[in-house]
Structure 1
Amino acid sequence: MANIVIDRVRKSFGAFEALKEVSLTIHDGEFVSLLGPSGCGKTTLLRIIAGLETATSGDVRIGDNSIIGLPPKDRGLAMVFQNYAVFPHMTVYENVAFGLRMQKADDLRVKAQVEKAAGLLHIEPYLDRYPNKLSGGQRQRVAVARALAVEPKVLLMDEPLSNLDALLRLEMRTELKTVLQSAGTTTVYVTHDQTEAMGLSDRIAVMHGGVVEQIGSPVEIYNRPATRFVGGFIGNPPMNFIKVAVSNGQVAAGGEQISAPKDAGHEVILGMRGEAVELAPLSAGLEMKVRVAEPMGSHLLLTGSIHDQPVRVILPASETVKSGDTIGLKLDRNRITWLSPESGKAYPALTA
């Protein structure tokens, strides 16, 4: 079993606390992304798992065994970096074989594993070439093939697609998901790109300020963010946050009354996804003043304000709303996230 248990791991650099007692379990064969902005601690956590950084306190276990203190080569890991890290003086074959050579594998195993990994990544035609004859995407495939060839217990990936252009990144993301599903390798993937995390992951750990703010499936993270940070970081456009008054346990939303969380005070933050609305008569919905209307082909993106607070909403492309209009919006009550104005944490989900 190659499950990973991260148990109360802390990391300090002098007075700066990069990780604040992070605990996380990654199951055997699972693909988990560590997602967050620069400086959130995601790469530091990956490097601690890899053995490239030493935790200030806490434990990391793979299976039943603690790997704290083990050198990287003895941890049963493979790592793919952002900058490809392929050897320019070696052919693709020898690049893919490099980890196996370091393990002193015999020639038959090297040949079998290289051919297997090359087949998974579709680089068989390039095995005799040198890296300077390959595109960026092909070199990244070589790096992934080299990692998979040694059949690691755990694969660690540090923003491996960020140097590729947008179309190639999309292609590689699709191939990577297919390959890792076939290999069944436990994978920890660091990225700041929410699209990558949403598309690739079984679960996402959203990190901020050295802590894991929420871990869950992409659908859970998107629909039920645990904090204001998660809702604002995930989604394009991000979740809207509108501070509204609570009176007798109700919030007025245009012509509607919506039940507020029972523990809410006099104010609460109403979180809504941009697409969780539909046009309604002004008298029956929230009033939105449209500042900019952007036809995006598949949808209409509106930027404006509700209660003098900025919002972005998505309507069908067929709607004829223009910049400067004032419109009414009806909320999908089942997709509202209520948050505390003080803590920024979400209240338990309510249904209509």
Structure 2
Amino acid sequence: MATIEIDGITKRFGEVQALAEVRLTVADGEFLALLGPSGCGKTTLLRIIAGLETQSAGRVRIGERDVSDLPPRKRGLAMVFQNYAVFPHLTVFENVAFGLRMAGASKERVTAQVEQAAALLHIEALLKRYPAQLSGGQRQRVAVARALAVEPAVLLMDEPLSNLDALLRLEMRAELKAVLEAAGTTTIYVTHDQTEAMGLADRIAVMQAGQVVQVGSPSDIYDRPKTRFVGGFVGSPPMNFLRLLVEDGTVTIGGLRLDAPAGAPSEVLLGLRAEDLTMTQDAAQGLPFELRVAELLGPHVLLTGTVAGQSMRAMVPAGTTSALLKPGTVLHLRPDRERMSWMNDEGIALEARP
């Protein structure tokens, strides 16, 4: 079993607290993404799991073992870094074989494991080359193959695709997901890219200021954010938030009246995804939206404007009549009432939608 239990991990650098009592469990064979902005503590947490940093408090368990005080080589894990970290003086074969040779594996096992890992990553034809003869994507495949060749109980990945261009990231993301599903290795993947996290992970742990603020499946994180931070960080464009007053259990925006959640405070935040707004001719069913900018984005047009003096974005089909999309035009946008998120004035969800 390669379950990972992170129990109350705290990390301080002098007076700076990088992590604050983080608790998290990763199931055997699960792919978990640690998602958050730069400086939120996700890489520090990964390095503590790897044994490259020492926690100030808390414990790390892998399977049945408490590995909190063990050196990295005794933790039964492998790590893939952002900068590839391949050895320029070794061939691809020797790079992939490096961990096996360090572990004293037999020649036969080295050959078998290298060939198996190379086949998974589609680099069989590159085994005799040196890193200088490879593209960035090929070098990243070598780094992943080297990690998988030692058959680790746990694979840790620190933003491994961030140095690749956009098209190559898309290709590598699909390949990486297929490879790790085939390998069945418990994986923790650090990224600031919510597209990577949504596309790759079984579950996502969103981090903010050294804490895990929400853990769930990609659909849970996207559809049911527990805080304004999560709703604003996950999604492109980010979730819209309107600050509204509650009177007699309802909020009124233009001609549209919406029932607030039971027990809602006098002021609430209404969260709406851009794709959950549709144009309507019925003013009583739509938000009065004053258009400022319309941007064609392939199959959609991204609209930027204001509702009740507050910024909002919406997506409409690309075929929408251009005469309707002139700056200054007031449109009416009907929200999908089943997908609205209600939060208090501090940005904490008031209720979880089913």
**Shorter-chain-normalised TM-score: which range?**
over 0.9
Q: Is the 8 A contact 1:293 1:301 kept in 2?
A: yes
How far does residue 124 in structure 1 lie from its aligned partner after superposition? Answer: 0.2
Gaps of 5+ in 1: none
Alignment partners' CA distance in 2, 1:128 and 1:314: 50
How far does residue 2 in structure 1 lie from its aligned partner after superposition? Answer: 0.3
Q: Is the 8 A contact 1:261 1:350 kept in 2?
A: no
Letter in 1 for 2:127: L
Alignment partners' CA distance in 1, 2:109 and 2:268: 62
Alignment partners' CA distance in 2, 1:274 and 1:163: 30
Alignment partners' CA distance in 1, 2:207 and 2:283: 41
Out of 313, 332, 335, the residue aligned to residue 336 of structure 2 is 332
**SS, match of residue 294 in structure 2:** strand
How far does residue 65 in structure 1 lie from its aligned partner after superposition? Answer: 1.2
Gaps of 5+ in 2: none
Correspondence 1:181 to 2:181: yes
Alignment partners' CA distance in 1, 2:167 and 2:161: 11
Alignment partners' CA distance in 2, 1:64 and 1:234: 34
Which digits, 9 at most, give the CA deviation of each residue in 1:199-223, with x for residues without a partner? 1000010000000110111111000
Which digits, 9 at most, give the CA deviation of each residue in 1:167-204, with x for residues without a partner? 11111001000000000000000000111111100001
How far does residue 323 in structure 1 lie from its aligned partner after superposition? Answer: 2.3
Q: Could you tell me which residue of structure 2 aligns to residue 346 of structure 1?
A: 349
How far does residue 297 in structure 1 lie from its aligned partner after superposition? Answer: 1.7
Q: Is the 8 A contact 1:282 1:327 kept in 2?
A: no
How far does residue 120 in structure 1 lie from its aligned partner after superposition? Answer: 0.1
Q: Could you tell me which residue of structure 2 aligns to residue 24 of structure 1?
A: 24
How far does residue 350 in structure 1 lie from its aligned partner after superposition? Answer: 5.1
Q: Is the 8 A contact 2:153 2:186 kept in 1?
A: yes
Q: CA RMSD in A?
A: 1.0
**SS, match of residue 251 in structure 1:** strand
Q: Percent sequence identity over matched residues?
A: 64
How far does residue 254 in structure 1 lie from its aligned partner after superposition? Answer: 3.7
Q: Could you tell me which residue of structure 1 aligns to residue 258 of structure 2?
A: 258
Which digits, 9 at most, give the CA deviation of each residue in 1:276-329, with x for residues without a partner? 011112622110000001111210100011110111111111112222211011
Q: Is the 8 A contact 1:282 1:329 kept in 2?
A: no
Letter in 2 for 1:346: A
Letter in 2 for 1:348: E
Letter in 2 for 1:325: T
Q: Is the 8 A contact 2:224 2:353 kept in 1?
A: no
Letter in 2 for 1:41: G
What pairs up with 1:205-284 in 2 under 5 angstroms?
205-281=205-281, 283-284=283-284
Alignment partners' CA distance in 2, 1:251 and 1:108: 71
Larger CA deviation: 272-281 vs 249-258: 249-258
Letter in 2 for 1:106: S
Alignment partners' CA distance in 2, 1:253 and 1:114: 63
Alignment partners' CA distance in 1, 2:352 and 2:154: 35
Alignment partners' CA distance in 2, 1:199 and 1:113: 28
What pairs up with 1:1-352 in 2 under 5 angstroms?
1-281=1-281, 283-284=283-284, 285-320=286-321, 321-341=325-345, 343-349=346-352
Q: Is the 8 A contact 2:304 2:314 kept in 1?
A: yes
Alignment partners' CA distance in 2, 1:78 and 1:323: 54
Letter in 2 for 1:304: G
Which digits, 9 at most, give the CA deviation of each residue in 1:236-264, with x for residues without a partner? 00000001111111112443322112221
Larger CA deviation: 277-286 vs 261-270: 277-286
Alignment partners' CA distance in 1, 2:27 and 2:47: 19
Which digits, 9 at most, give the CA deviation of each residue in 1:66-121, with x for residues without a partner? 11110000000000000000001100000000000000000010000000000000
Figure out how many residues of one structure are paired with residues of the other and give that number: 350
Alignment partners' CA distance in 1, 2:90 and 2:249: 69
Q: Is the 8 A contact 2:256 2:283 kept in 1?
A: no
TM superposition score normalised by structure 1? 0.98
Larger CA deviation: 292-301 vs 313-322: 313-322
Q: Is the 8 A contact 1:277 1:331 kept in 2?
A: yes
**SS, match of residue 215 in structure 1:** strand
Letter in 2 for 1:159: E
Q: Is the 8 A contact 2:242 2:269 kept in 1?
A: yes
